[in-house]
């Protein structure tokens, strides 16, 4: 039996899964914590990877890393780290993002050139920030790579610095249409010449560990998660965590000039456009706290309610919103009367959250032209029984809820198994231990939400027309 190791190097921790290469069965797993903060010494990830893979890597025939996207790892001419890595959630470079959009010719030109309208999370904006704020470090930087690239390089005993198309597509200096790096953009952002990793193909072997395991190309975390769930065209993955993310596999490059959809590549040779919301599971946290119940009781109240919640509607923009782009918006309840019940409130909360995610799904459909045939629902919010059962009535499609949770590590393991096999396609593992939910489309609930959303489009947090 061949064994493969999938590594998820996320913002908070490293998770490692030892998996049967033929079936996808998880045989063993470990994890190790990362330092907190938005700027981290990359060598800390190496320490965590060694801890999480101890006793597992030696048993593996192949290994791959799924890493947090966008982080800037700057290396000098001796391949030593220049400064702490700036992570995806470091928003210091927000002014630089706007500056670079203008340099590229505006939002539409940015989307056409690199597949996305640049935002502060993208690696290229961090290069410009370093040029502006740390010119000495910018001059010392000879090459730049991503977190998964750095770890893959060390796993393969630093044979060659490589990346993959999926993670490269989140840098801001890669063409999703032509599937190549644009080194002239990286140089423009940094203000001096800088080397980028070689792009490996999805099933390529890029090195060998000290124990003899083959090292696959690895990818970004969103791409690895899609691979772990075996997403196919027509599938949409909805992840309800602190924020919400909807992603879908597309066979064509996506270029959304509105910036609502980021046009990434995936880890198979296709594309993985994503749309994000700012308000995910924390909407359920808010409601549970407001009603004085735990999450199970909140779900019970929502399921005891009526579709459409007797006219009560929640616009769940508690912390502003990104899809649609309304950063100054606030959450709103509408339709409350003296007869409104706790069940109505709970139902409106769940429906409002899911309608917000429906907006993200529809943004993907507009960008790709692909009809949603099935939704895979993951993340902390997906554990709610009410979310599971109400979701198909809002999305208008069957909803599959997998029991497994470590999809990034599982996807990295699937990529390692693919590289090990030498086959043209990744192994068919499928989604194990999943529950499928179906339901009648709730036209009333969706119509109420859309009416409230559209009616408040031009008003800021003070209720004044913007």
Cβ atoms of 117 and 107 within 8 Å: the answer is yes
SS3 265: strand
Handedness of CA 261, 383, 349, 293 (dihedral sign): negative
Cβ atoms of 237 and 227 within 8 Å: the answer is no
Cβ neighbour number for residue 182 with a 10 Å cutoff: 18
17 bridge partner residues:
6, 29
Apex 429 CA angle, 426 and 432, nearest 5: 155
Instruction: Look up 164 and say whether it is catalytic.
Output: no
> Alpha-carbon distance 4 to 420, whole Å?
9
Handedness of CA 227, 229, 231, 235 (dihedral sign): negative
> Alpha-carbon distance 59 to 229, whole Å?
24
Helix-strand-coil split of the chain, %, nearest 5: 35, 25, 40
> Alpha-carbon distance 240 to 89, whole Å?
18
Which residue among the candidates 8, 221, 235, 344 is catalytic per the annotation? 221
How many residues in total does the chain contain?
466
Residue 215 has φ and ψ, to the nearest 5°, of: -105, 120
Cβ atoms of 149 and 197 within 8 Å: the answer is yes
Q: State in Å, rounded, how far the first CA of the chain is from the last one.
A: 63
70 is in an annotated binding site: yes
Q: Pick out the residues of the known binding site for substrate.
A: 69-70
Residues with catalytic function:
221
Residue numbers belonging to the annotated binding site:
69-70
């Amino acid at each position: 039996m061949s064994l493969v190791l999938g590594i998820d190097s996320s913002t908070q921790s490293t998770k490692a899964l030892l998996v049967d290469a033929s079936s996808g069965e998880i045989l063993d797993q470990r994890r190790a914590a990362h330092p907190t903060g938005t700027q981290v010494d990359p060598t800390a990830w190496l320490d965590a990877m060694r801890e999480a893979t101890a006793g597992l890597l030696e048993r593996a025939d192949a290994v791959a890393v799924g890493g947090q996207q966008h982080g800037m790892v700057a290396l000098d001419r001796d391949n030593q780290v220049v400064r702490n890595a700036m992570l995806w959630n470091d928003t210091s470079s927000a002014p630089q993002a706007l500056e670079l959009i203008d340099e590229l010719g505006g939002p539409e030109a940015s989307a056409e050139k690199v597949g996305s309208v640049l935002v502060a999370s993208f690696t290229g904006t961090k290069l410009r920030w370093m040029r502006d704020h740390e010119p000495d470090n910018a001059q010392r930087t000879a090459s730049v790579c991503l977190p998964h690239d750095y770890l893959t390089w060390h796993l393969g005993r630093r044979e060659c610095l490589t990346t993959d198309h999926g993670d490269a597509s989140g840098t801001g200096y890669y063409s999703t249409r032509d599937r190549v790096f644009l080194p002239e953009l990286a140089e423009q952002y940094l203000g001096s010449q800088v080397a980028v990793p070689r792009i490996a193909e999805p099933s390529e072997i890029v090195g060998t560990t000290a124990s003899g395991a083959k090292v696959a190309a690895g990818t970004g975390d969103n791409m690895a998660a899609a691979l772990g769930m075996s997403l196919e065209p027509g599938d949409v993955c909805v992840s309800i965590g602190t924020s919400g993310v909807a992603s879908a596999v597309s066979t064509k490059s996506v270029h959304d000039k509105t910036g609502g959809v980021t046009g990434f590549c995936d880890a198979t040779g296709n594309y993985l456009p994503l749309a994000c919301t700012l308000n995910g599971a924390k909407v359920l946290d808010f409601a549970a706290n407001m009603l004085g119940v735990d999450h199970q009781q909140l779900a019970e109240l929502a399921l005891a309610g009526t579709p459409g919640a007797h006219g009560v509607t929640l616009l769940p923009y508690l912390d502003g919103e990104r899809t649609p782009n309304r950063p100054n918006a606030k959450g709103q309840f509408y339709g409350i009367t003296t007869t409104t019940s706790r069940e109505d409130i709970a139902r409106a909360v769940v429906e409002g959250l899911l309608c917000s995610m429906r907006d993200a799904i529809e943004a993907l459909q507009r960008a790709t032209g692909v009809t949603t045939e099935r939704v895979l629902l993951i993340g902390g919010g997906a554990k709610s029984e009410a979310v599971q059962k109400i979701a198909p009535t809002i999305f208008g499609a069957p909803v599959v809820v997998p029991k497994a949770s470590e999809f990034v590590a599982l996807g990295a393991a699937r990529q390692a198994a693919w590289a090990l096999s030498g086959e043209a396609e990744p192994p068919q593992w499928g989604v194990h231990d999943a529950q499928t939910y179906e339901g009648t489309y709730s036209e009333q609930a969706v119509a109420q939400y859309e009416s409230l959303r559209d009616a408040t489009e031009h008003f800021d947090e003070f209720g004044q027309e913007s």
